[in-house]
Amino acid sequence: MAFLGKDGKYPRSYIIDANLTYRNPFQIIDSENFSILLKEILEILDEKDDESLGFFKEYFLIDATSNKIDEKYDIKRIIDLILILSFKTPEYIYENYGIDLLKHRKAFLNFIEILYNHWRNKHRFIIKKERYTSNISTRLSTSYSLIKVNNDFKDMVRDVYRQVSFNTSGETPKVLRQLPSGAQVSFLADKMRVPKNHRFKNQWLYEPLIVWNVIFEPPVIFYTLSNKRQGIFPVKKRNILSELKLPRTQWLCIPINVGRMLFYIYVHMEFLALGAGVTNLFEIADMKEVMTKKPDGIVIFGVSEEMIGDDEKRGAVFIDEEENMIVGVIPFSPENDYFGYMKKNTLTVHNLKVIEKGNLPVHGALARVRLVNGKSSYILLVGDSGAGKSETLEALNRYQEVSMVDIIFDDMGSLEIHDGKVVAFGTEVGAFVRLDDLPPGYAYSTIDRSVFMNPDSVNARVIVPFNNFSEIIKPSRIDYVFYANNYTKVSEGEDEIRFFKNVDEALEVFSKGARMAKGTTHERGITTSYFANPFGAIQMREKHHEIAIKFFNQMFKTGIKIGELKTSLGIPGYEYEGPLRAAKRLIKLINEGK
Express each pLDDT in 140-169 by its tens digit: 999 999 999 999 999 999 999 999 999 999
The pLDDT-based confidence of 229 (bands split at 50, 70, 90) is confident
CA 127, 130, 134, 138 dihedral sign is negative
Per-residue pLDDT averaged across 20-24, rounded? 92
Judge: domain 185-356, CATH 3.40.449.
yes
pLDDT at 2: 53
522-528: long-range contacts (C-beta < 8 A, 24 or more apart)?
Answer: 522/228, 522/229, 522/230, 522/231, 523/230, 526/487, 527/384
Contact 323, 202 (CB under 8 A): yes
Per-residue pLDDT averaged across 225-232, rounded? 86
Stated as kind and residue range, the H or E segment containing 229 is none
What whole-number distance in Å separates Cα of residue 73 and Cα of residue 66? 9
What whole-number distance in Å separates Cα of residue 241 and Cα of residue 234? 17
CA angle 360, 467, 480 (to 5 degrees): 45
The pLDDT-based confidence of 589 (bands split at 50, 70, 90) is very high
Express each pLDDT in 242-290 by its tens digit: 999 888 888 999 999 999 999 999 999 999 999 999 999 999 999 999 9
Strand partners, 211: 189
What whole-number distance in Å separates Cα of residue 466 and Cα of residue 96? 59
Express each pLDDT in 80-121 by its tens digit: 999 999 999 999 999 999 999 999 999 999 999 999 999 999
CATH architecture of 360-429+466-592: Alpha-Beta Complex (3.90)
Per-residue pLDDT averaged across 544-562, rounded? 97
CA angle 90, 96, 98 (to 5 degrees): 75
The pLDDT-based confidence of 11 (bands split at 50, 70, 90) is confident
The pLDDT-based confidence of 46 (bands split at 50, 70, 90) is very high
Range list for CATH 3.40.449 in the chain: 185-356
What whole-number distance in Å separates Cα of residue 460 and Cα of residue 451? 11
Mean pLDDT taken over the chain: 91
Express each pLDDT in 496-540 by its tens digit: 999 999 999 999 999 998 888 765 555 566 888 999 999 999 999
- The pTM of the full predicted model, rounded to 2 decimals, is 0.91
The pLDDT-based confidence of 438 (bands split at 50, 70, 90) is low
Range list for CATH 3.90.228.20 in the chain: 360-429+466-592
